[in-house]
Amino acid sequence: MSADGVLAELQSEADAFRAEYERVREAVGRVIVGQQRVVESVLTAMLCGGNVLLEGVPGLGKTELVKALAGVLKLQFRRIQFTPDLMPADVIGTNIMTTDDMGKYRFEFRQGPIFTQLLLADEINRATPKTQSALLETMQEGTVTTGGTTYRLEQPFFVLATQNPIEQEGTFPLPEAQLDRFMFKVVVPFLNRDELNEVVTRTILKQRYEAVPVLDGARILHLRSVLERVVVSDPMRDYACRLVLATHPDSAFATERVKRFLRFGASPRAAQALIRAARVRALSQGRAHVSFQDVRYFAAEVLQHRALLNYDGQAENVSLRELIDEVIAKLPTEG
């Protein structure tokens, strides 16, 4: 096939991707009031095969958003309410003793709720670190290992976790190793006046909108394969790497405030996530190539939970999000 033919095919796939992306976003938007940026972020991460940490005060529709996505994407859905007494076996499953047809005793593995396609880990920071770590292998590899046996989960598989930033009593902060496995951290904002009025109106009139299936698991996997064909030029790749390096206080790309207030910067996974998210962003705009704007678009969601404040930053109550926004704004596209 000629170069023009390849470009035409890529553009055709980009147009098809954009159409399906918009259909999903509109279907979720009929169920969820407002939160367009949140919906876009979660949908982007899911199409990349990434996991998302949703942070927001209670009542903003985080759980409803996940349920709506499960319905629109036609995925198996399970929810785990994380509590301090939740054990790893409650998440991944456990071996129980049973008898076979001959009356002999044997161990049989009973799958836990993690064996699904879309897992909602509600209030994940209320569980102990031991239980939180039960998700590590699953989030990274898509597998569960117990009793010396490894089980592969049905794909696509996503973890969407929620946490409340206000109530900290009786909670266990997520360790950096687990935070790094979330592709995005999405802060769910409060509703504006019009959105809040719409929520109250739906409540008064008892209006409830059901999620209409638009995609399925097989189609999601196909769309992922399309992502791999999106062109990422050398300057775009280098820009993503420089964005990550700019969060490291000992880097030549770091700003003065980063050098002063950050202890550690983002990991290499952040650079990978920036490129994956940029590819989805490009396709959602009907383009088969990544631009600087695409790399920047989800940079805050990728970087804000991967950097760590030092003592001075904590003492002065520095906002990590503002610091990351400053890095994104000040880093030149040409380096």
Q: Mention every residue, 6+ apart, whose C-beta is less than 8 A from residue 156.
A: 46, 49, 75, 117, 217, 220, 221, 224
> How many domains is the chain built from?
2
> Residue 206: is its pLDDT beyond 80?
no
Residue 291 lies in a domain: yes
Task: List the domain range (segments joined by +) for residue 152.
Answer: 1-83+116-228
- Say what the pLDDT of residue 240 is: 95
State whether 129 and 275 are in the same domain: no
Residue 333 lies in a domain: yes
CATH number assigned to the domain comprising residue 43 = 3.40.50.300
- Say what the pLDDT of residue 185 is: 93
pLDDT confidence of 335, banded at 50, 70, 90? low
> Residue 207: is its pLDDT beyond 80?
no
State whether 149 and 135 are in the same domain: yes
Residue 160 lies in a domain: yes
Domain's final residue, options 228, 254, 275: 228
State whether 279 and 173 are in the same domain: no
Helix (H) or strand (E) run with residue 120 in it: strand 118-122
Residue type, 53: L
Task: Compare 279 and 4 and report the one with higher pLDDT.
Answer: 279
State whether 250 and 214 are in the same domain: no
CATH number assigned to the domain comprising residue 268 = 1.10.8.80
State whether 167 and 277 are in the same domain: no
State whether 298 and 176 are in the same domain: no
State whether 244 and 185 are in the same domain: no
Residue 251 lies in a domain: yes
State whether 235 and 220 are in the same domain: no
Residue 289 lies in a domain: yes
CA 131 to chain centre: 20
Question: How do strand 149-152 and strand 143-146 relate by DSSP bridges?
Answer: antiparallel
State whether 195 and 286 are in the same domain: no
State whether 189 and 286 are in the same domain: no
- Say what the pLDDT of residue 34 is: 80
Domain's final residue, options 210, 228, 246: 228
Residue 242 lies in a domain: yes
- Say what the pLDDT of residue 12 is: 82
Residue 91 lies in a domain: no
| Sign of the dihedral defined by the CA atoms of residues 210, 33, 188, 286, in that order | positive
State whether 175 and 268 are in the same domain: no
- Average pLDDT of the chain is 87
State whether 127 and 54 are in the same domain: yes
Residue 108 lies in a domain: no
Span 252-298, pLDDT tens digits = 898 899 999 999 999 999 999 999 999 999 999 988 889 999 999 99
- Residue 258 is encoded by which pair of tokens? 């980063």
Average the pLDDT over 61-68 and give the result: 84
CA-CA distance, 245 to 251, in Å (whole number)?
6
Domain's final residue, options 198, 228, 258: 228
Span 208-264, pLDDT tens digits = 777 788 888 889 998 888 888 888 999 999 999 999 999 999 998 988 999 999 999
Question: How do strand 262-264 and strand 308-309 relate by DSSP bridges?
Answer: antiparallel
Span 155-193, pLDDT tens digits = 899 999 998 877 666 688 888 888 889 999 999 888 888
